């Protein structure tokens, strides 16, 4: 997959437009349609997206993303997208919707098709919509596809719904809407080694600033290390100064992985954060947490 950080001429491509945070089940329909058209016409598929969420520029409320940019690019690559154009939203925020179509989409990409979600907007103050893309398709000869809302268990799949569930620690429902397990990819850093002294060595990671925050607590997770997957117990804590600390005990793993990148998949919350009177009680609780992970893994493997 080729990645471009500025407008680049990619002639006669099949376009998908959107921020695609989370790359949930609804987004996948958009991308599958884009790839299908590209293959049927022996051309390339191209996604146009942004480095950060447009609302971070348009409002004072900062949107914490389900996927970091790096995670999103890795997933787009795995889907089979040929090109991704990552733009800085402020650079095009004041372009009218009509100029966005003519001076960017048509001028740089000469699209054979454009696919978006049902609620996609673009141009100055979001004045552009599906109706305008359909109208201009007749002038510029591309086919426009609007993907309708995707519904699961009576609920429209959307990033805002998924974010709400993640912020509550409801990974079961969030993962269903995503179509995969919510995850974080991060580099292992050196910690205080308190868990190691207790006999439960852990891998410490730094939670990315732009990634959605989950509630503090202890979680059953799965961890990819060196191409293998392990069960794990993750502690996501917050100290009195508001500093987050995330560490995961990888069950059955022995090795030095400082500086290595690991991927952690969130399955279920085990318990809330507890302040222990002494290390013996902490150690006893960690043993119970590991037992919970083993039991839960046995349960989900049977269902």
pLDDT of 201 higher than 70: yes
Mean pLDDT, residues 236-249 taken together: 84
pLDDT band of residue 297 (cuts 50, 70, 90) is: low
Torsion angle (degrees, nearest 10) of CA 146, 74, 230, 207 = -100
What integer is the mean pLDDT of 271-294?
Answer: 81
Under DSSP, is residue 38 helix (H, G, I), strand (E, B) or coil? helix
Give the single-character DSSP code of 101. Answer: I
Confidence of residue 303 (pLDDT cuts 50, 70, 90): very low
Output the DSSP codes for 103-150. IIIIHHH--SEEEEETT--BSGGG-B-HHHHHHHHHHH--EEEEEPPP
Instruction: Answer whether residue 68 shows pLDDT above 90.
Output: yes
> Which H/E stretch holds residue 71?
helix 69-79
d(CA 212, CA 277): 31
Q: Give pLDDT tens digits for 181-200.
A: 999 999 999 876 666 666 67
* pLDDT for residue 252: 86
Mean pLDDT of the chain: 90
Percent of the chain with pLDDT over 90: 68
How sure is the predictor about 299, in pLDDT bands with cuts at 50, 70 and 90? low
| 151 or 282, which is more confident | 151
The pLDDT value recorded for residue 47 is 98
Domains within the chain, CATH numbers bracketed: 2-155 (3.40.50.620), 182-301 (2.40.30.30)
Residue 298 has pLDDT above 70, yes or no: no
Could you tell me the pLDDT band of residue 285, with boundaries at 50, 70 and 90? Answer: confident
**If we measure between CA atoms, which residue out of 68, 31, 28, 24 comes closest to residue 46?**
31
Q: Is 85 exposed, middle or buried (0-12, 13-18, 19+ CB in 10 A)?
A: buried
pTM score: 0.90
Tracing tokens 């947490």 back to the chain, one arrives at 289
Q: How far apart are the first and last CA of the chain?
A: 36
Q: What is the pLDDT of residue 193?
A: 62
CA–CA separation, 180 vs 174, rounded Å? 9
Residues forming a β-bridge with 16: 47, 115
pLDDT at 8 over 60: yes
Asked if 218 and 235 count as a contact pair (C-beta separation under 8 A), the reply is yes
């Amino acid at each position: 997959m080729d990645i471009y950080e500025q407008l680049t001429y990619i002639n006669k491509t099949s376009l998908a437009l959107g921020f695609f945070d989370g790359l949930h089940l609804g987004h996948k329909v958009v991308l599958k349609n884009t790839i299908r058209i590209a293959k049927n016409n022996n051309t390339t598929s191209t996604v146009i997206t942004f480095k950060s969420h447009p609302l971070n520029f348009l409002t004072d409320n900062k949107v914490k993303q389900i996927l970091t940019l790096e995670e999103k690019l890795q997933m787009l690559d795995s889907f089979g997208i040929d090109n991704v154009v990552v733009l800085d939203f402020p650079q095009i925020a004041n372009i009218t919707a009509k100029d966005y179509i003519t001076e960017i989409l048509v001028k740089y990409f000469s699209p054979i098709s454009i696919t978006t979600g049902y609620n996609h907007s673009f141009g100055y103050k979001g004045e552009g919509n599906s109706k305008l893309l359909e109208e201009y398709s007749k002038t510029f000869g591309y086919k426009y596809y609007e993907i309708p809302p995707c519904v699961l268990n009576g609920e429209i799949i959307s990033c805002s719904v998924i974010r709400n569930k993640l912020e509550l620690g409801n990974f079961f429902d969030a993962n269903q809407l995503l179509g995969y397990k919510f995850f974080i990819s991060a580099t292992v850093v050196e910690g205080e080694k308190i868990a190691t002294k207790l006999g439960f060595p852990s891998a410490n990671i730094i939670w990315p600033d732009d990634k959605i925050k989950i509630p503090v607590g202890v979680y059953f997770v799965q961890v990819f290390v060196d191409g293998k997957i392990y069960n794990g117990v993750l502690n996501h804590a917050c100290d009195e100064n508001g500093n987050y600390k995330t560490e995961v005990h990888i069950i059955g793993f022995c090795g030095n992985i400082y500086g290595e990148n690991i991927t952690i998949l969130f399955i279920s919350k085990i318990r809330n954060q507890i302040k222990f009177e002494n290390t013996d009680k902490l150690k006893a609780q960690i043993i119970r947490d590991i037992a919970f992970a083993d039991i839960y893994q046995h349960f989900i493997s049977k269902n």
